[in-house]
A and B are shown apart, each in its own frame.
Chain A
Amino acid sequence: MSKNINSMMLKRQSAEKRFRFYGQASLAIALIMLVVIISSMTYRSIPAFTNYGLNLNINLSNENISQDNINYRRLVRDNISLLDSGCDDRKCRKEFLRLFSSGAAYELRDTIENDPSLIGKDFSKFILFSDDADLFYKFGIDNSLPESERRLNDREITWLNGFKELGLVEKRFSTNLFTNGDSREPEIAGVLGAVIGSLLTILITLIISFPIGVLSAIYLESFAPKNKLTDFIEVNINNLAAVPSIVFGLLGLALFINFFGMPRSAPLVGGCVLSLMTLPVIIIATRASLQSVPPSIREAALAVGASEMQVVFQHLLPAALPGILTGTIIGLARAFGESAPLLLIGMVAFVVDIPGSFTDPATALPVQVYLWADSPERAFVAKTSAATLVLIFLLIIINLAAVILRKKYQLKW
């Protein structure tokens, strides 16, 4: 008999051990996946965080110019030509110029506009190489290929090696990535426009979906009569949470843009569309956390004569707040990473200027990732990974906020 019990015990214990092992194994797999994704993204994004350039002497002293009549493009071109290219025909000079970023002239303009006292002086300015030259310094080039199949020809390679031997080439952290809007030139393209667009959009989503979601959940949970109609509404809310996001984009196009006449590509419309998507999530989360407040709290409050509304706002809501905030933030995080509904309302667009208000044309971070992934220039491959990292980083911050808020308002029963 005791032998029998022992063997049964053993069996149960080993079943438990196995179960624990399965649990640990799945956790390990999940962690490994996460590590693989993040590390491969980080690895691929490394080239995007630096840029090669050289310090170019800008000669402004012996010229009779004022701020208004500077032709910056010419200025950069003339000063680049002072570097010894050994060119004597137009084609050669053009190839030489092509090694440098086409944004150099505009960066020089910004420098001089910020500090007009530079006019009349000689100074040196760091200018970037173009994407092909930049990739050459980062990865080298396969010399075994015939000249016509390389992005740089022999002459260009000789120049680039020459700069390096002269010690002119300098590697710098790419601030452009964080301070610029989108661009077609990989070396000057940045995510700032997209980050701000995303934040403006999410703010609108929060403003619309949080109060509406919480209030409708409270009404449904505490005040609404239980009948066919409220059942029907409830079923619909639960279904809405599972509707594919592109459908909300279609709805947004028909409702906000075509009917209300709101501007296309604006964070205002993006926020409205995403809030339609986030609303059911917030309602469901709020109802769940209201339900999880122990009934004794409600009964005690009612027993000492509180009105229904006082019970809800002074007792239930504060107790349910951590759950509500978590639900809201998870809903927002989902909206933050969404790009499909934005396609239809015109936010999948090339926007250079950094949006300054809710109605300025803007794009969002996931859209930026998509646009860069679709660009032919090879330097955008690294940029795509870098933008993805920024997106992941922002999502981590949002989730961190959820954890902190939950900790702060957590009540123990």
Chain B
Amino acid sequence: MKKLLKKITFIVSTISLITLSSISYAEDQIRIVGSSTVFPFSTAVAEEFGRSTKFKTPIVESTGSGGGMKLFCSGIGFEYPDITNASRRIKQNEYNTCSENGIRIIEVKVGYDGIVLANSKKGSLYNLTTRDIYLALAKEIPVNDNDLTLIDNPNKTWKDVNAELPNIKIEVLGPPPTSGTRDAFVELAMDSGAKSFTALKDLRSSSKEGKAEFKRIARTIREDGSYIEAGENDNLIVQKLEANPNAIGIFGYSFLEQNSDKLQGSNVNGVEPEFEKILSGDYVISRSLYFYIKKNHIRIKPSLLNFAKEFTSEGAMGFDGYLADKGLIPLSENEYEEVKINIINLVELEL
């Protein structure tokens, strides 16, 4: 018994010594944080970079766009990340925080991501307009086009929303408010739907307060069970859609692409959610993806610039690159050229 205690003490102290003596920072290892939407692309590049060069594989964390910006902008040095991914552009206040901490940023636009509304192939295909989406999902809607009197959303079925749609209960599985996908969805789909009401459109252009009020009306999603928050996990939504053919799910295009044998994407404003249509911008619910490089770190981490070059290479970000295989919608040729030039000249972002 005493022996055992002694043994434990010995092992414990040995290991503690080893641990304490091994504290050091990985000098030239890139650290990436940020958006969970960019995560699958960023990791694919990181892996390729780690395998095809002599540099260490970058560490990619999925913290969400906002969380990533916060970490990224908090300082310069080995303990702060070198790159942050974002599924939206950097905000002015985030940029200011960065500048206050002496951080200079290079912005790289990576490509586009479509947000799709899809249901099981067992159900019927929906032809939606953004107005339909707004009418089906908003918490409050105006009584008619020219009247700003708001009522609680009374629509129970898609037919209530639009007589041409099937008589099926509205059941939409989508991301929770913490998700970047949700932000982008309400901004792109709901705003555009709300704008189709003359009264709301006038409200938006009336004044600053009016604009804020418009945002509140357009972007508040109903909470009576028609919109079901299904968590951040898109795979889970896909599985639930298979089980319930009447439900519609909201998620990123790459999940639709991977499950195209089971799911169909609803047309929005008459446009199918297809690679070419998102690329051309005809499909309206699509957003830009970015990553931001900390210019101050380029000198201390030689691999950083190489990583940026790998990410923006033809083989990765190009039209036939491996990121397109993973579901990224590539940039147009002009945009792509601009991104490449920005990287070569290390052009700093000014806001």
Contacts and interface: CB of A to CB of B under 8 A. Distances in A.
10 contacts: A94-B320, A151-B261, A184-B44, A185-B47, A263-B23, A263-B26, A346-B61, A349-B60, A359-B24, A376-B326
A184 B47 contact: yes
A115 interface: no
B43 A378 contact: no
Interface stretch (A203-211, A294-302, A331-339): A203-211
A265 B47 contact: no
A257 B57 CA distance: 22
A352 to B, nearest CB: 4
B23 A262 contact: yes
B258 A377 contact: yes
A242 interface: no
Contacts of B47: 183-185, 350, 352
B26 to A, nearest CB: 7
Nearest to B14: A207
A357 interface: yes
B207 interface: no
Which 3 A-B residue pairings sit nearest by Cβ, starting from the closest?
A352-B57, A318-B1, A350-B60
Contacts of B235: 373-376, 381
A102 B322 contact: yes
B261 A145 contact: yes
A375 to B, nearest CB: 7
Interface in B38-91: 39-40, 42-44, 46-47, 50-52, 56-57, 59-62, 79
Contact of B61 (A106, A348, A378): A348
Nearest to A343: B63
Of the four ranges (under 10, 10 to 19, 20 to 34, 35 or more), the interface on chain A belongs to 35 or more
B29 A268 contact: no
Nearest to A268: B19
B27 to A, nearest CB: 11
Contacts of B259: 378
B111 interface: no
A151 B79 contact: no
A395 interface: no
B57 A353 contact: yes
A183 B45 CA distance: 11
Interface of B: 1-2, 4-5, 8-9, 12, 15-16, 18-19, 22-26, 29, 31, 33, 36, 39-40, 42-44, 46-47, 50-52, 56-57, 59-62, 79, 232-236, 252, 254-255, 257-261, 320, 322, 325-327
A126 to B, nearest CB: 19
Nearest to B48: A102
Interface string A137-148: 000011001001
A261 interface: yes
Nearest to A362: B59
B234 A351 contact: no
A150 B261 CA distance: 6
Contact of B46 (A103, A257, A321, A352): A352
B60 A321 contact: no
Contact of B62 (A263, A264, A268, A349): A349
Nearest to A102: B322
Given A211-B12, A317-B5, A376 B26 contact: no
A150 B260 contact: yes
Given A374-B234, A376-B235, A409-B1, A350 B19 contact: no
Contacts of B8: 210
A265 B29 CA distance: 12
Most chain A CB within 10 A, of B24, B36, B42, B51, is at B51
B258 A350 contact: no
Given A261-B79, A350-B39, A371-B62, 5 more contacts: A204-B19, A268-B19, A317-B5, A374-B232, A378-B259
A383 B151 CA distance: 48
B263 to A, nearest CB: 9
Contact of B258 (A211, A348, A359, A376): A376
Interface in A369-404: 371, 373-378, 381
A207 B16 contact: yes
A149 B261 contact: yes
Interface string A226-238: 0000000000000
A178 interface: no
Contacts of A341: none
B62 A348 contact: yes
B156 to A, nearest CB: 31
A361 interface: yes
A360 interface: yes
B5 A264 contact: no
Given A352-B47, A409-B1, A359 B22 contact: yes
Nearest to A72: B52
Contacts of B236: 373
A105 to B, nearest CB: 8
Contact of B79 (A102, A150, A264, A351): A264
A374 B37 CA distance: 11
Contacts of B51: 103, 106
A352 B26 contact: no
Given A353-B50, A361-B29, A207 B258 contact: no
A183 B252 CA distance: 21
A171 to B, nearest CB: 23
B62 A361 contact: no
Interface string A148-163: 1111000000000000
A257 B80 CA distance: 11
A184 B40 CA distance: 8
A358 interface: yes
B237 to A, nearest CB: 11
A204 B326 CA distance: 37
Contacts of B18: 358
A262 B79 CA distance: 8
Given A264-B31, A361-B26, A374 B233 contact: yes
A103 B8 CA distance: 43
A126 B152 CA distance: 63
Contacts of B61: 265, 346, 348-350
Contact of A203 (B15, B50, B57, B60): B15
Contacts of B258: 151, 376-378
A109 to B, nearest CB: 9
Contacts of A381: 235
Interface in A201-223: 203-204, 207, 210-211
